[in-house]
Homo-oligomer: A and B are copies of this chain.
């Protein structure tokens, strides 16, 4: 590989001058030398070694993003938002997928720490297990002790800047909207009990129904994905309206109903949560709670990059979007 020294030699200047010309500096370099250096670099096809720069400068321009699964459009949208924001800041992005394995998440934070990345973004829902969360917090603390910055999208469980969707409120609003339509018997496809996002959405929904004086819904736990929604839907009893705690599960539920000849929304209404863009053409169109995922990703990056010493927790409100997957009763 061509090094800066090669360029300097070819241009007949010192290393320092070559560095100042090519890799940015506050110092001026005379026009003549500048031209010679640039020409030499061009002829030789010089590319600065970023590892060396990072080492010398003591700061890198890489950020790390940790998500569960890139093929899940929810994470893809969040990651995309963060990546676009990173690009405008001239930052490079390292992406890690954990496939929901907390150990992987911890390992990834350690690695990003080793990379001395400028910031790390933890995206997605975490389990409430204090042992695992504790170790993740330790690893993050270690990273932050070394000057690293971190932010997270999801719950405020980690003691870092957080962009938190207002899961409880969103679910509660949805519940009220559905009750407004005349529904009284509900089921919740609630996802895993220990997953905080899922639990919050479920709780918000249940509480809102309680406040309205409606009977408690049937709560069915299961995996947080499409197949989980599918399976849970087959267990739902005589509810007139089913709330899946995320859109992907709702789609699974719709598939289950379709296969069994249960008409949506005629026989049963279905609602989800997130408003995944890829699903906007789904039939029937899904009633859901819209979250501004891209903005949330971008905002998380902003928080991570910011100086703010006190830990910031931003609630992001969702917006209930009624579509054809629910019907008015009576």
Contacts and interface: CB of A to CB of B under 8 A. Distances in A.
A251 B281 contact: yes
A84 B95 CA distance: 12
A263 to B, nearest CB: 12
Interface residues of A, number: 52
A329 to B, nearest CB: 24
Nearest to A93: B95
Q: Which of A79, A83, A92, A251 has the most CB of B within 10 A?
A: A92
A164 to B, nearest CB: 22
Nearest to A258: B283
Contact of A51 (B48, B54, B282): B54
A37 to B, nearest CB: 17
A47 interface: yes
B50 A115 contact: yes
A94 interface: yes
B73 A80 contact: no
A76 B83 contact: no
B51 A277 contact: no
A55 B51 contact: yes
B110 A47 contact: yes
Contacts of A113: 47
Contacts of A277: 71
7 contacts: A51-B51, A52-B55, A70-B80, A251-B281, A254-B281, A278-B278, A282-B283
A97 interface: yes
Nearest to A61: B111
Contact of A282 (B54, B70, B93, B281): B281
A1 B147 contact: yes
A48 B114 contact: yes
B95 A83 contact: yes
Nearest to A87: B97
Interface in A51-69: 51-52, 54-55, 60, 62, 69
Interface in A70-101: 70-71, 73, 76-77, 79-80, 83-84, 87, 92-97
Contact of A145 (B45, B55, B283): B45
Contacts of A62: 94
A55 to B, nearest CB: 5
Given A76-B76, A146-B1, A49 B114 contact: yes
B116 A51 contact: yes
**For the complex of A and B, 8 pairs with smallest distance between CB atoms:** A51-B54, A1-B146, A283-B283, A95-B95, A255-B281, A50-B114, A51-B55, A47-B114
Contacts of A116: 1, 49-51
Contacts of A114: 47-50
A328 interface: no
A192 B192 CA distance: 44
A116 B79 CA distance: 24
A95 B70 CA distance: 11
B281 A142 contact: no
A55 B49 CA distance: 8
Contacts of A226: 281
